[in-house]
Amino acid sequence: MKYRSKTERQLKWGVWAYILLVVFEGALRKWLLPGLSDALLVIRDPIAIMVLLFARAKGYLSFNPYTFWMILIGGIGIITAVTLGHGNFLVALYGARIFIIHFPFMFAMAKIFTIEDVIDVGKALLWISLPMTLLIIVQFYSPQSAFVNRGVGGDVAGAGFSGALGYFRPPGTFSFTNGTSMFYGLVAAYVFYFWFNTFLIKRFLLIASTVCIMLAIPFSISRTLTFEVALSLAFMVVALWHKPKYLWKVLFAGVIVGIAFYFLSNQSFFSTGTDVLGARFDEASNSEGDVNDVLMNRILAGMVYAVQNAPNLPFFGYGLGMGTNAGAVLLTGNATFLISEEEWGRVIGEMGLLMGFIVILIRVVFSFSTLKKSIQYLRSNNPLPWMLISFGFMQILQGQWGQPTNLGFSVIAGGLVLAAMNRTY
């Protein structure tokens, strides 16, 4: 890779370090450095700070309305949390870093990376998906006491989360199982894009990573991943509508998927995974309703309830950071949801109606504005932003930013979408 200057090289290395730590931070906290698991929770923060300061000093980054308001809210939120809320400065600082550090980092990525860098990230993620898939299959079939299933800090109770039929959802290299679904959700968006542009990638890698997604869906036991892949598939169909020239490449991909599925369906190890995923959907349907009910509850009901419940909360909320698990540990000693498990409920609960609504409004405007721009780039023969926003849209809109892994994937997804708009090839 060629760099125009030493500054550009250093900034890009910083962004790459952030991205790789999102993927491998959990491995450090679980297996390699379990004694430092608490400190490693914020390992991306100093990297993001250095990139932001360096990018700002070298003219790679300027304020925009999104970052201005987020940083302002973060600063005010620290004051109100300490004086009117929970009163713990460290908890407030932990909550404010989302707005002051990580959200602006998204825009730094957009200035530092070119579309070629975004494509290189996709290639790297596809390569990582190969051993990652092997890992989650091993975790799926291994007991929670096995080393591969160790939890954060080397917890022998395991990092898996209840799935179905006695099997646990595998966490992969992540500290929690949500990382697995987000990783493969982003990989799927890239895979669909590369099928449009097969000249950009080795055919072996593209086919192998496509098969990995097929394997990851059942072995992750994740309905979220199933929805994410389905959403990316729907975005691909829209892309075909705008660019019919991609049809033959997609049909070829469909043939590959059909052959792979026929082969896998005859393997007992794969059928076990599909049986478990099916049981997971059945159990969820019995407790939460069908797919439409689940989508309505997860996407709309939580948003509506958060707004409706706002008048019952203190005007400035309970304080930044209180709604995160790390903040809960600092305040009570237990990792629990002190405010709300849903993102909008957490945001309004921490900051109150006024500041919480401003944060939500920024996320709504930014997500829909980025979606609109990606449509324009799709029409101008650059489908990369469109395919990446198929994963990033919901992460920006209502991803659970209080959870470090979710925050990390939201940031890199948003940054990659913006950077993919820098230049068409």
Structure tokens at 294: 């689940």
Query: How far apart, in whole angstroms, are the C-alpha atoms of residue 241 and residue 54?
Result: 42
Specify whether the CB–CB gap between 15 and 112 falls below 8 A: yes
pLDDT surpasses 70 at 286: no
Structure tokens at 402: 């209080």
Element (H or E) spanning 167, and its range?
Answer: strand 167-169
Query: How far apart, in whole angstroms, are the C-alpha atoms of residue 319 and residue 304?
Result: 21
Specify whether the CB–CB gap between 405 and 182 falls below 8 A: yes
pLDDT tens for 307-316 read: 666 677 888 9
Residues 6+ apart with CB under 8 A from 264: 211, 214, 215, 270
pLDDT tens for 176-216 read: 889 999 999 999 999 999 998 889 999 999 999 999 999 99
Q: Looking at 316-403, list the stretches that DSSP marks H as alpha helix, in order from N- to C-terminal side.
A: 325-332, 343-379, 384-398
Amino acid identity at 408: G
pLDDT tens for 206-263 read: 999 999 999 999 999 888 899 999 999 999 988 888 777 777 777 777 888 888 888 8
pLDDT surpasses 60 at 357: yes
The confidence band for 300, taking pLDDT boundaries of 50, 70 and 90, is: low
Q: Looking at 142-267, list the stretches that DSSP marks H as alpha helix, in order from N- to C-terminal side.
A: 178-196, 203-219, 223-242, 247-265
The residue ranges of every structural domain in the chain are 113-419
pLDDT surpasses 80 at 382: yes
